[in-house]
Structures are given as structure tokens and as C-alpha cells.
Amino acid sequence: MESLSFCFCLPCLVPLYSYNTTNPTTMKLNGLSTAALAVVALLPLAASVNINLDDEVSIMSTAATYAYEIMTYYTNNATNTPADEVGSFPKPPYYWWESGAVWGGLVDYWAYTNDSSYVDTTRDALVANFGPNQDLIMPNKRDQEGNDDQAFWIFALMSALEYQFPIPSDSDPQYLDVAKKAFDGMAARWDTKTCNGGLKWQIYPDSVVGYDYKNSVSNGAFFALAARLARYTGNQTYTDWAVKTWDWSQRIGLIGPKYEIFDGSDDKLNCSEVNHMQWSYGVGIYLHGAATLYNFTNGSAIWQQRTSGLLERSAVFFSPFKNATNIMWEAACEGAHSCNTDQQSFKAYLARFLAKTAILAPFTAPAVKTLLRTSAAAAAKSCSGGSHGTTCGTKWYTGGYDGTYGLGQQLNALEVTQALLAGKAGAPDTQADVHIVNKPVTTTQAVPAKTSTALPTHTKNAAMMARGVRGVLGGAAVGAAVVGVW
């Protein structure tokens, strides 16, 4: 990994203030140490986010602004924070799964920028949520932990492994041990009693909703995790699970004939009917898994075809209007102003997995670059709210701030921006690349709260259909290099 070091307290990298989650115009400073506050007090006030897509320093500065704003939502960093709340963002409104998603994003932030500002906090959060059996099953989050919720924490551990994120102390279980144990738990929940297989959305039969629903995010996450573990460890068992899960998803209809990723199916009906709602993170998750297997199989034709098909189908989530070409949106809810708290963050994961896809399957890089650059520029314009012009909105295609705010909106902006730096980290490592250096945890910091993913919405179709990615893909060159800033 190319090393770029910079101090987070430089004027160009510090977002000076943050905003209260209930009132974006109210400043709050709880995310800064006393020393940092002293430095901040001497700095000029930032006006708004201003990004130069051709300048690496500008992209890193913008990503640092977004990362800082995310951390202002994290209040479980006091010395009296209960141990089982470390790593969780406040609930309400944020569930446990989104906390895991944030820490995964911050692992990538460190890998792409070499900014270590949040390393200790992130590592503390991950370790605190290993669970009593070191399998990411958290008894105190039982009402929030489904298969897909748990998967987002495993995603974070896989990124920690793939980028050699600083590991816990010798006394703690290691990332790979926990990831494998959590995956094994998911595999044990593969349910052949209905639909001839598949994972249920929920883990526990007494869940209020979702135990009888086999959804694409749970199964797509299981597929992607199997692919990543296969590539990381070389273990054929994981490859077999990945292929089995893909084949099942396709057979049931969660993967459509044109690589659409549909929301899920009711197992009380033996998965005979499919809910055709489409969400951006669903296609992103399957896409990343397919690209991982393309890479792991040295460019096999079948995984190239599947990767291309999924990328093409991601067009549903770009270009909502003729004057918003290649700008990302959440098609099923943004137009209707109906995105809930969970859904406000979904674009983050499509952006994250597009970037990782471009690294693993370089033939996709030209198309991905176009989509991410355009969306990052639009996101920066959206991040112009609040007293100091760095609060991010939901709708990137409006050309400005839309009045909404929250953790999800900030994470969306961080992910799509730092995605432009993904090439700096290079290809994700495998177990053979790892040279273990123990670095003990030095501080105790707070952990975000857990959430469950969006309820299945039983509507017939997503609000919008595909527009321009097919055209963008036409320029993709097989074997294109992905290095540095795109």
C-alpha cells in the first residue's frame, strides 16, 4: 500500500464543527479532544465542501470532512459507556447493522488515506462486538440482529483482513477467527425446510417481522462473504458455498433474468412469489461477490459475464433525470420522499462495492470511474447544509442541499468520495500476504448502536428502471489498470 501520511489537524483537513443530530444548525464539539479543540479554535471557519476530482489532496480533505462529521454522531465514547454499547451509534434512530457498516467504511477510509485518526476507535468498536462466543452474535442486540445485520459487521472484519488493519491485542480473538466463526453460524442457518435452501432474513423465530422472508441482502451477503473468504483463505469450502448461494438465488428468482436483484420472497409460499423491489445495496453486494470470484478464478468467463451483468443492472440507481446523468440515487424511495433511516445509507454500500469491484475486476474500472466521479461531485454539492456548510443531504441530483440530514447521508458522501482513492490501497490482500504485527488497543472509545435493515416492501416494482450505465460500460477496457485517484 502506498503510504500517504498527513495530520488530521491541518486546516485543509479539519471540518471545524459538527451538527446536532436533531438540529443540523446546532454546533456540537463532543467528537474532539481538548488538544484538538485548541487547534480548531485557531483555524478559519470552513464555508462548504469544495472538491477537485483531479486533486488527490482535495479528495482526501473532503473525505476527512465527511469522516469527521460521521464521528460527531458517535456518542458512546465516554468512560462510563456500558461495554455492550461500545461500537453502537445511538438508537433511536440507528440500528446495530448501520454501526457495523460505518466501521467498515472507516476501515476503508484508513486504507485509502492512511489517516489513522479513527483507528483506535474503530478497532475498539469491532472488538466490543465480537460477542461472548466470538461470532458476532450479540445477546443485547437480539431484537436487532438478523442475518443481514450480522453480515455488515463481518464485512467490516473482512475489510480489516484484506487491508491489514491494525489487529487487536494478543488477548483478543483475531479478525479472521471471528469472521470464520460468524460465517459458519450463517452456514448452519441455511434452511432447506422451505424453498430448497437459502437464509431467512431473521435469525430468531420470535422476531416481530421477517423470519418467514428469504431476502436478497442476507443471501447476497452470505454469497459475497463466501467469495471473500475463498479468495482470502484459498479454502474450497467457501467457494462451494458461494456457488451454491448464487445458484439458489438465481433459481428462486432473487437474481432476475437480466441480473436484477429483487428484494426477497415469502418462504411460507415456498418462495413461489418474488417481491420485485430493488435497492442499491443489493446489487452492490452481489456485484462485489461476483467480482471477487472473477478475480479469484483468474478471470473466468462466467464470473466476468455475471460481474458485467450486475454492473449493467446497477443503472437503475443512476441518472434519475436527463440533467442528472450518472448521478446515484435510491430509486425506490428518493423520488417519493419516503426513504427511512436505513434506506438513507444504502447508496454508501453501492459506492463502496463499485470501487472494490473496479479493483478486483479492472475491466469494469472505466465505467465505475465515470459513475463514482460524477456522483462524488454531486454529493459535494449536496453537502452544503448546516451552519458551516458540511451537512449532507439525501438527493444528490438537486445540485444543492435538500434539507435532510443524518448518519446515513454523511456515510453516503464519505463512501462515494473515498471510493475515488480505492486504487491507492491496491488489490485486497490474501492470507498469504499478511505479516502479523500486534498493536494493542490504547484507548477505550464508544461503539455505535445496531439497527435492522428495511422491512420488505411488498410492491410490484421499483419506482424507476435502468437508464445509462449500459452506455458507460461500452467504453470499459478489459484489463484497465486502477491506480491512485480515478
pLDDT digit string, tens, across residues 306-361: 999 999 999 999 999 999 999 999 999 999 999 999 999 999 999 999 999 999 99
For residue 469, being part of any structural domain is answered with: no
* pLDDT at residue number 453: 31
* pLDDT at residue number 89: 99
Q: How far is CA 272 from CA 210, 214, 244, 246, 427, in A?
A: 17, 11, 19, 18, 40
Containing domain of residue 310, as a range? 56-425
Q: pLDDT grade, residue 146 (50/70/90)?
A: very high
For residue 7, being part of any structural domain is answered with: no
Decide: 252 and 281 in contact? Cβ < 8 Å: no
Query: Which of 337 and 10 is assigned the larger pLDDT?
Result: 337
The domain that holds 210 is classified in CATH as 1.50.10.20
For residue 51, being part of any structural domain is answered with: no
For residue 244, being part of any structural domain is answered with: yes
Number of domains in the chain: 1
Decide: 375 and 327 in contact? Cβ < 8 Å: yes
In the block, cell 456515510 appears at: 411
* pLDDT at residue number 244: 99
pLDDT tens, residue by residue, 118-132? 999 999 999 999 999
For residue 38, being part of any structural domain is answered with: no
Query: Does position 57 have pLDDT exceeding 60, yes or no?
Result: yes
Q: pLDDT grade, residue 375 (50/70/90)?
A: very high
Strands of 213-215's sheet in order across: 213-215, 264-266, 274-275
Q: Which of 340, 462, 356 is nearest to 406 (CA)?
A: 340
Report the pLDDT averaged over residues 44-56: 78
What does pTM read for this prediction?
A: 0.84
For residue 477, being part of any structural domain is answered with: no
Neighbours of 47 (CB within 10 A): 10
For residue 160, being part of any structural domain is answered with: yes
Mean pLDDT across the chain = 85
* pLDDT at residue number 472: 60
Report the pLDDT averaged over residues 175-200: 99
| Beta strand segments in 308-422, E | none
Report the pLDDT averaged over residues 377-384: 98
Comparing 169-173, 381-385, 477-481, which segment has the lowest mean pLDDT?
477-481
For residue 36, being part of any structural domain is answered with: no
Sign of the C-alpha dihedral computed for residues 356, 360, 364 and 365 taken in this order: positive
